[in-house]
Amino acid sequence: MKNVNKLLGLGAISVMMIACTTNPITGRKTLQLANDQEISAMALQQYRETLSKSKVITGTTAAKSVQNVGARIKNAANNYYRGIGRDADIANYQWEFNLIDDKQVNAWCMPGGKVAVYTGILPITKNDTGLAVVLGHEISHALAGHGNERISQAMIAEYGGAIIGSTTSGQMASIFQQVYPIGAQVALLKYGRSQELEADEMGLYLMSMAGYDPRQAQPFWERMESTSSGNRPPEFLSTHPSPENRRADLDKHMAKALQYYKAAGGKI
């Protein structure tokens, strides 16, 4: 029995090593055990359900901005991944960008590229560049596989090593719903601090690649922080780093972001 357990343990370690993924933009390594196609299919179902229960705005200037800014960042990401020979990583993404009439100061992107922006955040974004900060950050969550990472963490926490390579559809659906609550509750989804910091960094680079000035990221986050009511921040900031850590982190990555911005035709 000890030998069997040892072999199972070695097999689990081998699977984990294979499932270790490196972000090609930030270099961060993560464990992603779940099947991306399965996650994307469940995300699409949740997204459709959320939209069906929401007032989706179309045809307005704001709605068009969400579409256009999202498309520019998506295209910049596609070009980057294609340029480094990793276009297969995002070949199955089916991007959608929708504006939802809701006073919440929030935006999110589910696995597979399903994005929602709430009207409540638009007074803070102010313009397309501010919107690019938000969309760059949210798109980065999807591209970095943060959904898979969180699901993998939940799989291990709930089922241990036995779950590796043997997840049933029912177990996977249950875990997914823990990570991405059904319907309107999806707006409350939360990532860990390390994932938020990575989305900050990656989002800064993506918006720069898309031709948006990364120096406008700091003013946006300052405006966002100023909306906090007492000790309760907007949901968008609920698991985010402290303002001080964010400022320091953005400053650390700004020189590289400006290189991407200059390459995209921006003026330094």
pLDDT at 119: 98
Hunting for tokens 């309760």 — which residue is that? 232
Task: List the pLDDT tens digit at each of the 268 positions of the chain.
Answer: 444 334 334 334 444 444 688 999 999 999 888 889 988 999 999 899 999 999 999 999 999 999 999 999 999 999 999 999 999 999 999 999 999 999 999 999 999 999 999 999 999 999 999 999 999 999 999 999 998 898 888 777 776 655 555 555 667 777 777 776 655 445 445 678 889 999 999 999 999 999 999 999 999 999 988 886 555 566 566 556 777 888 899 999 999 999 999 999 999 8
The answer to whether residues 46 and 180 touch, using CB atoms and an 8 Å cutoff, is yes
The answer to whether residues 233 and 101 touch, using CB atoms and an 8 Å cutoff, is no
Give the residues across from 110 on adjacent strands.
Answer: 114
What does the DSSP 8-state code read for residue 45? Answer: H
pLDDT at 10: 36
Cβ neighbourhood burial of 125 (10 Å; 0-12, 13-18, 19+) = buried
Domain limits for position 71: 36-263
pLDDT at 153: 82
Residue 239 in any domain: the answer is yes
Residue 26 in any domain: the answer is no
Residue 4 in any domain: the answer is no
Largest separation between any pair of C-alpha atoms in the chain: 66
This prediction has a pTM of 0.85
Residue 2 in any domain: the answer is no
pLDDT at 239: 59
Q: For the packed helices 36-52 and 146-159, what is the interaxial angle rounded to 10 degrees?
A: 110
Helix (H) or strand (E) holding 99: strand 96-100
Q: Of the listed 38, 96, 138, 149, which one is catalytic?
A: 138
Residue 238 in any domain: the answer is yes
pLDDT at 231: 58
pLDDT at 171: 73
- List pLDDT tens digits, range 57-69: 999 999 999 999 9
Residue 56 in any domain: the answer is yes
Residue 24 in any domain: the answer is no
> Which ranges of 144-242 would DSSP assign to H, the alpha helix?
146-159, 169-179, 193-209, 217-226
Give the residues across from 116 on adjacent strands.
Answer: 98, 108
3-state percent breakdown (helix, strand, coil) of the chain, nearest 5: 65, 10, 25
Dihedral of alpha carbons 92, 98, 100, 104, sign:
positive
Is residue 138 annotated as part of the catalytic site, yes or no? yes
Give the residues across from 97 on adjacent strands.
Answer: 115
pLDDT at 237: 65
pLDDT at 4: 33
Q: In the chain, how many domains are there?
A: 1
